[in-house]
Structure 1
Amino acid sequence: MHEEIGEQQADITRLLLHHIHAPLAGTQLIRGVLPVPPPAEAIRIVTGSEHACAPDELIAYEIPLRTDDGLLTAYDIIGILRSVLTGTHFHPNDRVSTMMGMRLVRVEQTDVEPAADTPDDNALRILRTIACPFIEDQSSTRLRGFLFTGQDRFRLYLDTTETPGVVATDVRLSGAITALTAALPSLITEEERWTADDSDPHCSRAVDLTHW
């Protein structure tokens, strides 16, 4: 059950990546995708304007992944977010809290009518299916989420077949990016690099590669 949700979180993250450039609604971009740990079956999408990375500039929306009809897809998530980000929506106090310094809103799907897919959404789905077909044999290192944490800092949420749990990996957005991405799968399994980050509930351990 937990692996099913982990796989869905990874799939949603992969399919939402283009929205760090393409606005979801108005000027709102995706600034992070956070994998909610089990036993919760949810995902948190962090939104903000271009270049926003300070917690008080961001809002995270927690969306349950399981419905009576099965698991939500990335396309379902986009429709829900567009609906929430447009128009006026009242969020009861018991659904609003603070997480990692940012506002966290828990979205009830029954209260939201998802926005319809746009022609561009459907075009992207067709192109992605043809250009990036599903491959059964995936990499041993899986991207479960990400978060912009500074103008030159980026947190990756990764898991691997070699270590349990999610590893929050901090990297710089400048420097030897090609070498870093090639070395990531081995670097995050080196136990001497592991630290705890009690401020982040989305990871089991953290690795700081900002000086690598």
Structure 2
Amino acid sequence: MSEETEEIEELQADIAGLLLHLVYAPLVDDQHVRGVLPAPSAVAAVRVAVGDHGECTPDRLTAYEIPLRQGDELLTAHDVVGILRSAHTGTHIYPRSRVGSTMGITLLRVDPTTFEAAPFTPDDWSFTLMKCLAYPSTEERPAVRLRGFLFMEQGPLRLYLDSEDVSGVIAADVRPGGALTALLAALPSLLGEEWRTSDGVDDPHCRYLVDLTGW
């Protein structure tokens, strides 16, 4: 793996962790983060799905694809939040070449140079501080790393994960609740159980999908 690819993967993981609180706290007005998707491997970007609180229906969500590199520099996770807030505020005209769809969700490809990033709020900084205190970083990479997430229709939560034992991004559908501690402990081995896997043909953000909704 190249150093550049590793930097992008680490940044995607940082963004997923930073945006977790915006599932519950609004991003802007009454709009919440409903998914963070690691863009397909050929794209050095992250995709963030936004919609009403609790919304899971794809055609009621909007996803913004934000490139993670600006010139020779990588954006920070905080930069991404600021650009996302600006992109989702007010009216913006996107040329046809920058409008697409993914998994039934309208996808808008953002040009960061056309937006003035919104400032990080006191609540954002407070969350960042408390998250660092509650979950101090370690020098060792975790056995399973969160690269993104998406709330799916009918209840499952799709987690985008990677690990040192399985290459690429693997999606795992889980049902929140129940024996979460046991599930988290078992995830490293479950991701590699081929009989649980299915090709993620409807999801370009992963190599394959592991169905853990019945685990």
Bin the TM-score by the shorter chain.
over 0.9
Letter in 1 for 2:22: H
RMSD value over aligned CA atoms?
A: 1.5
Q: Which residue of 2 aligns with 1:123?
A: 126
Q: Find the partner of 2:18 among 15, 20, 38.
A: 15
Tell me how far 1:18 sits from its aligned partner: 0.8
Q: Find the partner of 1:56 among 25, 49, 59.
A: 59
Q: Which residue of 2 aligns with 1:44?
A: 47
Letter in 1 for 2:18: L
Partner SS for 1:164: coil
> What is the percentage of aligned positions where both structures have the same residue?
52
Q: Does 1:82 align with 2:91?
A: no
Matches within 5 A, 1:14-163: 14-68=17-71, 70-163=73-166
Q: Which residue of 1 aligns with 2:209?
A: 206
Partner SS for 1:201: coil
Can you give the 5+ residue segments of structure 1 that lack an aligned partner in the other structure?
Answer: none
Aligned length: 212
1:51–1:151 contact (8 Å) kept in structure 2:
no
Can you give the 5+ residue segments of structure 2 that lack an aligned partner in the other structure?
Answer: none
State the TM-score, normalizing by the size of structure 1: 0.94
Tell me how far 1:193 sits from its aligned partner: 1.8
Tell me how far 1:161 sits from its aligned partner: 0.4
Q: Does 1:164 align with 2:167?
A: yes
Letter in 2 for 1:101: G
The more displaced of 145-154 and 131-140 is: 131-140
1:79–1:115 contact (8 Å) kept in structure 2:
yes
Letter in 2 for 1:37: P
The superposition leaves residues 17-37 of structure 1 with CA deviations (integer Å, 9 ceiling, x where unpaired) of 111101110111111100012
CA distance in 2, matches of 1:30, 1:60: 10
Partner SS for 1:200: coil
Partner SS for 1:79: helix
Tell me how far 1:116 sits from its aligned partner: 1.3
2:18–2:128 contact (8 Å) kept in structure 1:
no
